């Protein structure tokens, strides 16, 4: 298996010597050295499975650039420092299924390390190979923070709308969606989730009472050993949403940060990702900046 593509050199952007930023503390690492860190970043520059507009392949680079200028201090947990960057996964040519197979092999190697993997997408189709290795030796539940359920049938092949259908077919033990929008999914897909004991918490409910929303999601995952959290950045309201399919009625960034911080504090957390951030579709970098700070809040929750 070939190595990861080398990560960029990280550096902070502030001229103030006490302004410690992620760019000042994130360092390159290898799989062999990843255990020395609390968390490792992994880029997944791919958008070949997007149903509508592409652009998410540019997500990892933009997320790194934005995160490098974010300060490391969190008022609750203090500074975040033990983070490294493995670089990008090489994405092979071929079908979406081919890409998923290649990513799954590499994601399995990352999950074998002690550090928390933080995948920087890339499109939502890679949620399946990011999570699938965890199913091999533990019961696993996923919290999908998303405007959509993404349980479409695979039909002619996987897409960015099929990852949780694929995971259910592979033996996923629990599923909860936080931030789902009314009139953005089909009745059949909601019934698919309900028939399997999954939870759906709407964007309105999540914004009104984030603590209760997270409690409801985690209650549906009480029996699992390991937890994976996926953030599809299209969960944000359309003005903040440079993605393939922005829609009105979503979360504000601060509401997303609250949800992520609470979920990341669960000691079962075994992986985290941000997907569908599409810089070419972004206006003024608003989505990229919200997504990079989502990563920061997840790391803070994990460290708390």
> Which residue bears the tokens 């000042």?
24
Q: Is the pLDDT of residue 1 over 60?
A: no
Q: Is the pLDDT of residue 47 over 50?
A: yes
pLDDT digits (tens, 9 = 90+) for 181-229: 999 999 999 999 999 999 999 999 999 999 999 999 999 999 999 999 9
What are the structural domains, with CATH classification, of the chain? 22-138+226-303 (3.40.800.10)
Q: Is the pLDDT of residue 2 over 70?
A: no
pTM above 0.95, yes or no: yes
What is the pLDDT, as a whole number, of residue 243?
78
- The proportion of the chain whose per-residue pLDDT surpasses 90, expressed as a percent, equals 92
Per residue, the 3-state secondary structure of the chain, as one string, reads CCCCECCCCCCCCCCCCCCCEHHHHCEECCHHHHHHCCEEEEEECCCCCCCCCCCHHHHHHHHHHHHHCCECEECCCEECCCEEEEEECCCCCCCHHHHHHHHHHHHHHHHCCCCEEEEEECCHHHHHHHHHHHHHCCCEEEEEECCCCCCCCCCCCCCCCCHHHHHHHCCCCEEEEEEECCCCCCHHHHHHHHHCCCEEEEHHHHHHCHHHHHHHHHHCCCCCCEEEEEEEHHHECHHHCCCCCCCCCCECHHHHHHHHHHHHCCCCEEEEEEECCCHHHCCCCHHHHHHHHHHHHHHHHHHC
pLDDT digits (tens, 9 = 90+) for 128-167: 999 999 999 999 999 999 999 999 999 989 999 999 999 9
- C-alpha R_g of the chain: 18
pLDDT digits (tens, 9 = 90+) for 264-301: 999 999 999 999 999 999 989 999 999 999 999 999 99
């Amino acid at each position: 298996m070939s190595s990861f593509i080398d990560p960029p050199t990280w550096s902070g952007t502030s001229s103030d010597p006490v302004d410690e930023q992620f760019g000042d503390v994130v360092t390159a690492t290898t799989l062999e050295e990843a255990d020395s860190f609390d968390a490792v970043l992994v880029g997944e520059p791919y958008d070949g499975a997007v149903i509508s507009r592409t652009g998410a392949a540019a997500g990892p680079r933009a997320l790194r650039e934005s995160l490098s200028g974010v300060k490391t201090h969190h008022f609750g947990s203090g500074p975040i420092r033990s983070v490294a960057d493995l670089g990008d996964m090489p994405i092979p040519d071929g079908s979406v299924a081919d890409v998923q197979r290649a990513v799954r092999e590499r994601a399995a190697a990352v999950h074998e390390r002690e550090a928390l993997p933080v995948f920087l997408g890339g499109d939502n189709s890679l949620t399946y190979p990011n999570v699938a290795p965890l199913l091999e030796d533990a019961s696993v539940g996923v919290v999908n923070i998303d405007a959509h359920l993404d349980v479409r049938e695979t039909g002619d092949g996987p897409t960015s709308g099929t990852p949780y259908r694929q995971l259910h077919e592979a033996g996923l033990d629990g599923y909860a969606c936080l931030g789902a929008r009314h009139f953005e999914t089909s009745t059949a897909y909601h019934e698919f989730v309900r028939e399997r004991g999954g939870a759906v918490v709407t964007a309105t409910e999540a914004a009104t009472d984030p603590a209760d929303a997270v409690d409801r999601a985690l209650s549906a995952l009480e029996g699992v050993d390991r937890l994976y959290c996926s953030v599809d950045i299209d969960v944000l309201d359309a003005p903040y949403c440079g993605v393939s399919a922005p829609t009105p009625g979503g979360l504000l960034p601060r509401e997303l940060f609250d949800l992520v911080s609470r979920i990341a504090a669960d000691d079962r957390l075994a992986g985290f990702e941000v997907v569908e951030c599409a810089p070419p579709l972004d206006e003024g970098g608003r989505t990229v900046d919200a997504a990079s700070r989502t990563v920061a809040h997840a790391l803070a929750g994990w460290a708390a």
